[in-house]
Chains A and B, each alone.
Chain A
Amino acid sequence: MKSTTIILLFILLIVGCTPQTMYYWGDYSNSLYKMKKDATPETLDKHKIELLDIINKSNEKGLRIPPGINAELGYIYLLQEQYDQAMVYLNEEKSTYPESTKFIDDLLQNLSEGEENDG
């Protein structure tokens, strides 16, 4: 009996070491790769859909959005001049990862300067 307990404890220890799912990254790397290999509006659109899907699935699973995903989506909206959407996702990156604050604020700063110059 005692050795069974030890074996069970040993198994528990090993199982306990298996990392929990931290993030849902979906098909991020492949979709980015495809976009780089063949940069077209279609591959960009697919990548954008992938980013949205990662955000949705992560929320469904109760997981933190992986680092950079909200920012990357916000940046695509920024390039597409959809500024309201861009702000939503860039701010989301900041609130999820406060260590990104300076980086995101600088991006937004450049954006507002750009807009002023355009106007």
Chain B
Amino acid sequence: MTVKSVIIILSLTVFIGCATTISKGEAFPKMYKEKPLSILVLPPINESTSPDAKEYYSTTIAEPLSYAGYYVFPIEIVNEVLKQEGIYDTELIVDLEASKFKEYFGADAVLFTRIIEWNTSYYVVGGNVKVHIAFDLVSANTGELLWSYNGQLTVDTTGDNNVPGVAGLLLQLAETAVKTAVQDYTPLAKKVNTTVLTTIPFGFYHAQYGTDQSFTGVNMENVNQ
């Protein structure tokens, strides 16, 4: 057994280990057919119990989407324009024909984001902070769903100390409360964005545009139904 064969076997194992996922090309063929250049991000649909989530989340998405190779319409201006038109709740325009966004903004595709969770939970002796976002990219030409994915992240904010007995438990409750309160959501949202966007086919401004059909890593369980 030479070093070389060990390496080959190891790399094969790595590839086989990824076999539970499918490739971008298999998962999202319409993206490769339609090749959208520009994406209009609509204000998030907020299904969480946190009223601030919508405003804060929208500060996190332009950057990673641009790194995926897409032109992202300036989100702040788009939000203002929509507000002036009396539309700030995407819920109200979900059924609007996607072609309207081509007509009014010149967009190739529209990104709907749903904040499913942006919450803090406490249980008896601990707590956690959770962010769960679902993405649907819809063609502004055909209205078809081009790409969809969702991702979530939970941070355990349970306090930890080595004090025994009731004193330790009380301390833990206090620690949990503090850690949970200061845990900021946006860093979690950014991590969710980064993970989810590894599955979107690269756009025009990415060096590997048009060549990533065989990239694996798309977990069908995370594709929105």
Contacts and interface: CB of A to CB of B under 8 A. Distances in A.
Do they bind each other?
yes
Interface of A: 2-3, 6-7, 10, 19-20, 22-23, 25, 28-29, 32-33, 36-37, 64, 66-68, 71-72, 75, 93, 97, 99-103, 106-107
Contacts of A7: 7
Contacts of B37: 99
Contacts of B4: 2-3, 6
Best-buried of A25, A33, A75, A101 by chain B (most CB within 10 Å): A33
Nearest to A21: B67
Nearest to B7: A7
Given A3-B3, A6-B4, A71-B77, A36 B106 contact: no
B106 A71 contact: no
Contact of A99 (B59, B71, B80, B81): B71
A51 to B, nearest CB: 11
Given A99-B37, A99-B71, 15 more contacts: A3-B3, A3-B4, A6-B7, A19-B206, A19-B207, A22-B205, A22-B206, A29-B59, A64-B205, A68-B62, A68-B73, A68-B77, A71-B77, A99-B108, A100-B106
A102 B73 CA distance: 11
Contacts, number: 90
Interface in B42-75: 55-56, 59-60, 62-63, 66-67, 70-75
A32 B2 contact: no
A91 to B, nearest CB: 14
